[in-house]
Amino acid sequence: MIDSYLAEGEKKLQEKGVVSRYGANRGNSLRITRDYLDSILIEMRVIDSPLASTEFKLFGETFASPVMTAALSGLKEIHPDGMVEVARGAAAAKAVMWTGIGDDSELTAIAKTGARAIKIIKPYADDDLIYRKIKLSEKLGLLAVGMDVDFVFGGKKKRGFAQDFPVGPKTSGDIKNFVKASGLPFILKGILSEQDAEKALEAGAAGIMISHHGGSVLDYAVPPLMMLPKIKKIAGEKIPVFVDSSIGSGADVFKAIALGADAASLGRAVMAGLAAEGAEGVRKVIEGVNEDMRVIMSLTGADSPGAITPDVLKFR
């Protein structure tokens, strides 16, 4: 049922002129990532299999699902107050919401919905701007805060900038200072190598989001799920590991968790739900993808996300 609903939402996205967001240059990163995801097969284990629960714990709180929203931004071309509507949908689904670039009033409105949000801050050249956004996130009582460290050269439309603000690379020392300044768990998003994963732990990161920014920052970027087992080996049980980029179904989330992720984020699928029915559509997408994952869990002998193991996957 969720597949037909997503198709309806995708049609509405295209009617609004929101085409698929191809990555850097010719979109090879997204194509390669989708091909890799589709190359992973799932083994059935149905005899004595239990009914599954998808409850997920993060930073001392319990959520209904390890299916999260991606760190989207704007979305006004899809729905008025798009990010606030996403927050309402995530809150209704009892799921974690990530949010990207946006002004202080939008973040305040997101917090007021009751959504447990994670604010991702751009690597602004102005460190004072970063610290101000960290403090606002604390004041609003968000679940966590962090930085997408891969956005160092800005967007394709305006290189070197995030909207009108200059961005640039951050050193390990910079990141340690942001971590120390934050009273919330500080997550690093855009980790796509063992080297950066090790540096993230050394800097004191409270979590890692394995991501290539939807393929928009590097052409031919390695698929996040390909790096996931290696990065999970480094992180161990010390900090949670998340993944995004081309995650769009219950099977995708299941594969991500089997390979070591604690949770996974939906991007385009959430946008489709938003286009279909606003906050209610976002809720339906999160819960629908979660239910598909729960069924797969029950068909593979896993009674909880923590019981999903990599040996249930086969690679072709």
- 213 is annotated as an active-site residue: yes
Tokens 């279909």 belong to residue: 276
Own/partner pairs, 174-180, CB within 8 angstroms, 24+ separation: 174/127, 175/147, 175/149, 175/199, 175/200, 175/203, 175/205, 176/203, 176/204, 177/127, 178/130, 178/131, 178/134, 178/147, 179/203, 179/204, 179/205, 179/206, 180/204
For 178, list phi and psi in degrees, rounded to 5.
-65, -40
Buried b (16+ CB within 10 A) or exposed e, 90-115: bbbbbbbbbbbbbeeebbebbbebeb
Q: Which of 79, 88, 199, 213 is catalytic?
A: 213
Tokens 């855009």 belong to residue: 190
The number of residues in the chain equals 316
Q: List the catalytic residues.
A: 213
